[in-house]
Amino acid sequence: MSVDTPHWVHDAVFYQIFPDRFARSERVPKPGSLEPWDAPPTTHGFKGGDLLGIVDRLDDLVDLGITALYLNPIFSSAANHRYHTDDYEHVDPLLGGDAALRALLDACHERAMKVILDGVFNHSGRGWLPFHHVMENGMSSPYRDWFYLDPNRLDQGRALQAYPSEELVAEMRRMASTESLASGLASERMLGYRSWWDLPALPKINVDHPPARAHLLDIAQRWLRFGADGWRLDVPAEVDQAFWREFRQRCREVDPDTYLVGEIWQVRPDWTSEGLFGALMNYPLTEALIGYCGGASIDWGLVAGQDQYRETIRMLDGPAFGSELERLMAAYDADVVRAQLNLLDSHDTPRFVTMCGGDIAAHRMATLVQMTLPGAPCVYYGDEIGMEGGPDPDCRRSFPADPATWDNERRAFIKGAIALRNAHPVLRHGKFDVLAAGGSAVAYSRHDESESFVIALNNGAQEASLAIDVAAVQDRPLQPVEWGGWPDGERGRVERSENGLSLHVPARGSLLLRQPPDRSPAPAPYVRLR
């Protein structure tokens, strides 16, 4: 069934920002002392990044080629990541409040940049007024049906245990494990309310209760009217799809071009069926890129420690990677494929380069794939200047304030890859085909009626060769493409024969070829884009 996705997303290059860690502005007053900006991040510490700090850095992002921002949660919260929402109706004062969001949206839209917000509608924080009201008033609270409560506890006048001792939390965990309880049921029994994954700080919202549902849907519309261009939706699988169909309908009433992208970690086309999301966070692509581009450099100890990756990441050779790309392209409607959020890492994962043992070549290869596939690429803040980071909270380090610490060659490479994507519509809208694969190498094409690109990759330690049938490439000159930041030692070769092409791809490297339109003059052997 055809899915209607906003077409602006097909051309977008996103940049994900964790607001507390990106940039701090002196124009946003802080109520007290903060963690030192350059100190290692902690689970509960605040660095003081804010939305006006983002405004101050927008021109750097425009220079990089970014056309859209994805912001982690910005609403009032007692957590630095702000997934514990205390007030859906106002931006956190530590980030500059509503006025700072107004300034950011205006500054982005002046630069033709879109902005999507992170929506957390499955659970709230303990400080959300409806939950606090229940804590204070028990069964007398008109908000009691907004949550999943233990009626026996409330009937007996016993208070909710919203701030349990460590011993009680440990006992709750044992109950959940011993009795194989579904998520939240142990907390409902022992704390008096159901919480997401039995985390006491995250009371689960009863979205089936009409007043609670209406309030959340009003919030969705409120911030779109304020100027946001879409929502990234947190843990949507924890909520019935009927809610999300209504959510989409209400959002489209405000703006038919609203982008809704769901945090679904698996290949799940049912979440993009008619009336649901326009796209998903494409973590299966992330896993394939780690498995192929990481190659022998993958940090398997780090993989083993990640619940989301332990069972899904495996080392891939060229044919296996090509097959995985074909599988991901075929799994969804073509419009959804062009709208998928294609990411290498995020606030929920170790940094890509860290997963790959610090291998910069792996990151370059993955970036090239990311920028030449259908879908909306998303750069996690700091990846472009060489930031590393292990599991949370280490993947949420502060963006280095001193440019002398930046990896400018990495930035030049990523900037060049984005510029190539932005300059050639075929890389955003053209057809995708795997041309050849063997051993450590794979080659695929992006093509339309007038222009073609061939992207060849080699994750092996030695140069690899691939033969491409002449029928796959039209009889026009092929132009190797490079740009600033491309390592001098990673230049491949192309040989033409009567049967087609022989591509010689450097070890741990790539070869990018462009077949320009017929009207183009014969190219020089190499074109450097800077």
Q: Tell me the catalytic residues.
A: 234, 263
* CA gap 178, 176 in Å, rounded: 6
What CA–CA distance (Å, rounded) separates 291 from 454?
Answer: 21
DSSP secondary structure, 325-366, as one string = HHHHHHTS-HHHHHH-EEES--TTS--HHHHTTT-HHHHHHH
CA dist 523 and 517 (Å) reads 11
Angle CA 7–13–19, to nearest 5: 115
Output the furthest CA–CA distance in the chain (Å, rounded). 86
Q: Tell me the one-letter amino acid at 92.
A: D
| Nearest partner of 367 among 349, 381, 350, 379, judged by Cα | 379
- 111 and 58 Cβ atoms separated by less than 8 Å: yes
DSSP-derived pairing of the beta strands 376-380 and 341-343: parallel
CA–CA distance, 416 with 393 (Å, rounded to integer): 30
Q: Rounded CA gap, 364 and 368, in Å? A: 6
> Which long-range CB contacts under 8 A does 148-153 form with residues at least 24 apart?
148/184, 148/188, 148/193, 148/194, 148/204, 148/206, 149/188, 149/192, 149/193, 149/194, 150/188, 150/189, 150/192, 150/193, 153/192
- Which residues, 6+ apart, have CB-to-CB distance to 330 below 8 Å? none
Handedness of CA 107, 111, 112, 118 (dihedral sign): negative
Between CA 82 and CA 88, with CA 84 as vertex, the angle to 5 degrees is: 80
User: 3-class secondary structure for 10-66?
Assistant: HCCCEEEECHHHHCCCCCCCCCCCCCCCCCCCCCCCCCCCCHHHHHHHHHHHHHHCC
Residue 84 CA to residue 437 CA, distance in Å, equals 46
Buried b (16+ CB within 10 A) or exposed e, 257-272: ebbbbbbbbeebeebb
DSSP-based three-state secondary structure for 127: coil
Q: Is 518 helix (H, G, I), strand (E, B) or coil?
A: coil
